Chain A
Amino acid sequence: MIYYATQRFLLSVLIVIVAISLLTLMLHVVPGDPATMILGPRATPELIEQTRVAMGLDQPLPVQIVKFFGRILHGDLGTDVFTGRAVSDIVFEQLPYTLVLIAVSILWSSVLGIVLGCYSALRAGTWLDTLSGILSVGTISIPAFVMALYAVLIFAVSLGWLPAIGAGEGFFDSAMHLILPAFAIGISWVGYIARMVRASMLEVMGAPHVRMARSFGLTEARIVRAYILRIAVQPAVTLLGTGVAHLFSAAVFVEVIFARPGIGALIVSSVNERNYPIILGAVLVTTAIIVLATLLSDLTVALLDPRQREAL
């Protein structure tokens, strides 16, 4: 297990390094000079030169990339050209909002999804199974940002039950402001997870080791918990790990639609002012989190199922 974990960890570090190199390369492959891009067409040549030196753009490309890595290792993501603040400060100020939003969305949708999928598999063919099947297909086909628009339309505009703007202050208010955004992001995952858990439960329920456990006279509840679910949740765990990238994409829209602070809103506003250092920093941090999440889900699966440890 330790060998497998080290191997996976090193691979993840490598992936992040390649991703960062791709991003910095992209910045240089594209025609146009980042300094001119930020300052706009009316900047004086002196100002452009000054910004180029400040951003380190006057040095050769390999030097720039190596220096960039060096700075990242020191936790320095560069400086925001407009305010002069450290990019890492700005990004980590916004990050908690997004992480809380994503965590709450994952939590409610995976708990409901696993329970629903479990129940549908154990009672396959009943009206609740059919209903959850129809609901799954229906919700999966609606993108998160469309769902967010309808959430605003129905619960905030028409009914006026829940707030639709901002993140709120204090615990209770923040929680109220979190309901609609977390609903919009999570709802399609309920369907996904339920369908996946149902399919893999049905598969595992016929496995020899389950019949064995039943022949030993174990109670049905214990069989489900200790022998079926343990294997049946694996595809869902993998899905969630790779799905964190989709969750971040969804969070971008949801933060814009609900006017919430967060890393998605930060990126969108930075695109509008063409503030490339902030975008680069924000993309780096999200990518690192996504790779970490994939790593964690792989390790969780390996913990649940020793057979997976050999596969890499």
Chain B
Amino acid sequence: MSQAQATVSLPEPTVISRILRGLAGNRTGTIGFVLVVLILAAAIFAPWISQYDPAAIMTGPRMAPPSSDHWLGTDNLGRDLFSRVLAGGRVAMLVAGASLGAALSLGLVLGLVAGLGPRWLDNLLLLLFDALRSFPTIVFGLAVVTLVGPSLFTVILVVAITSVPIYARIIRTQAQSLRNAEFVMAERAMGAGLPRILFVHVLPNVLGPLLILASMDVPLVIATEAGLSFLGMGVRPPTSSWGVILNDGYNFIRNSPWPVIAGSVPIVLVTLGFTFLGEALRDIFDPRLQKAN
């Protein structure tokens, strides 16, 4: 019996166990992982965590400091800030997921086209990327808002358009270096077509760094969402968003500091969490970069 057990081969370390082991050995990585899990859980379970409706205007105290009833206090309309922060987290995560998803897929396609396609198309796309990158995100966002009106969708659109060039450029460089790599040339010499080279060799090699980059971009996306909403050009009240909370807090900044604190701490926590996690993942998957830093 015991002999039979001993010969059972150990399961090969999967990607997930590799990630977990890598994170466990990295202090800031662990902090980042815990923060991200907590934030995602709070966003998903928001309606069950807080007993208050984030948009309900209540007759209770206004601009109240934190108490056992209202963990983060109340805002200028007597709304419970804790439930508004949770609801804002849902909006932030939705915007991050949707816009980064769109930017990644579009960037992937354009980057592969630029990297593997003809030279003139490559130059044309590069020019387009450079032009898009030369708009300041917020200024470009404001121009788009004027045209299509402020909404959650507009925010997602703006972030997606302004992030596409970043991903596309990276994929282009990767695809170009892979195209001339020896193992790809060997495949081609053996008669492999473009689809096989694309899906078996290029994509798996490109996807990892791309996802890590995307996780490190989450803070930027959330700052853009909060920023546009703060200016009243993003998510519209009564929907809660960290930017909307901050705007309310700014308007009443001489009355109470709590709305500003409640709206800003989550932004900082998200930034720290995703940055630490992204850096740790980068170190796990690309030890070369670790040495450079």
Indicate whether A85 reaches chain B with its CB closer than 8 angstroms.
no
A142 to B269, CA, bound (A): 9
- Contact of A279 with B142 in the complex, beta carbons under 8 Å: yes
A18 CB within 8 Å of chain B:
yes
**Residue A141 is within 8 A (CB to CB) of chain B in the complex:** yes
Does B249 lie within 8 Å of A15, measured CB to CB? no
Is B132 touching A268 in the complex (CB atoms < 8 A)? no
Majority SS at the chain A contact face: helix
Contacting pair A248 B139 (CB below 8 A)? yes
Q: Which residues of A contact B272 (CB under 8 A)?
A: 137, 141
Whether B39 is near chain A, meaning CB under 8 Å from some CB there, is: no
Contact assessment for B230 and A267 in the assembled complex, using a CB-CB cutoff below 8 Å: no
Would B267 and A146 count as touching, CB distance under 8 A? Answer: yes
Q: Which of B2-18 contact A (CB under 8 A)?
A: none
Whether A276 pairs with B135 at a CB distance below 8 angstroms is: no
| A100 proximal to B (CB < 8 A) | no
Q: Total contacts A to B, CB within 8 angstroms?
A: 132
Cα of A32 to Cα of B293 in the assembled complex, Å: 50
In A229-274, the 8 Å CB interface with B consists of: 242, 245-246, 248-249, 252-253, 256-257, 264, 267-268, 270-271, 274
Whether B226 sits at the interface, judged by CB under 8 Å, is yes
Candidates A19, A143, A152, A199; contact of B227 at CB < 8 Å: A143
Known A146-B268, A245-B134, A291-B134; judge A15-B139 contact (CB<8 A): no
> Does any Cβ of B come within 8 Å of A153's Cβ?
yes
For window 236-285 of chain B, which residues contact chain A by CB distance below 8 Å? 246, 249-250, 253-254, 257, 260, 264, 267-268, 271-272, 275
Contact of A257 among B233, B250, B293 (CB under 8 A): B250
Cβ B136 vs Cβ A249 within 8 A: yes
Asked whether any CB of chain B lies closer than 8 Å to the CB of A150, the reply is yes
A271 touches B271 (CB 8 A): no
Q: Are A30 and B219 in contact (CB under 8 A)?
A: no
Most buried by B among A37, A143, A279: A143
| A273 smallest CB distance to B (angstroms) | 9
Q: Do B233 and A271 have beta carbons less than 8 Å apart?
A: yes
Closest B residue to A250 by beta carbon equals B138
Q: Which of B135, B148, B254 contacts A245 (CB 8 A)?
A: B135
Output the residue of B219, B230, B246, B293 with the most chain A CB within 10 A.
B230
> B136 near A245 (CB under 8 angstroms)?
yes
Give me 28 A-to-B residue pairs in the complex whose CB atoms sit less than 8 angstroms apart, sorted by A's number.
A18-B130, A19-B134, A37-B146, A141-B268, A141-B271, A143-B227, A145-B246, A146-B267, A149-B249, A149-B260, A150-B264, A157-B253, A157-B254, A157-B257, A203-B292, A242-B133, A245-B133, A246-B137, A248-B136, A248-B138, A252-B139, A252-B142, A268-B233, A271-B142, A274-B146, A276-B146, A280-B143, A291-B134
Residues of B within 8 A of A (CB): 127-128, 130-140, 142-148, 219, 223, 226-227, 230-231, 233, 246, 249-250, 253-254, 257, 260, 264, 267-268, 271-272, 275, 292-293
Residues of A that sit less than 8 Å from B by CB = 14-16, 18-19, 22-23, 26-27, 30, 32, 37, 137, 140-143, 145-146, 149-150, 152-153, 157-158, 199, 203, 242, 245-246, 248-249, 252-253, 256-257, 264, 267-268, 270-271, 274, 276, 279-280, 282-283, 286-287, 290-291, 294
- Ranked 7 nearest A-B pairs via Cβ: A141-B271, A249-B138, A18-B131, A248-B136, A143-B223, A19-B131, A249-B136
5 new A-B contacts, CB < 8 A, other than A153-B260, A276-B147, are: A22-B132, A30-B148, A146-B268, A153-B257, A157-B254
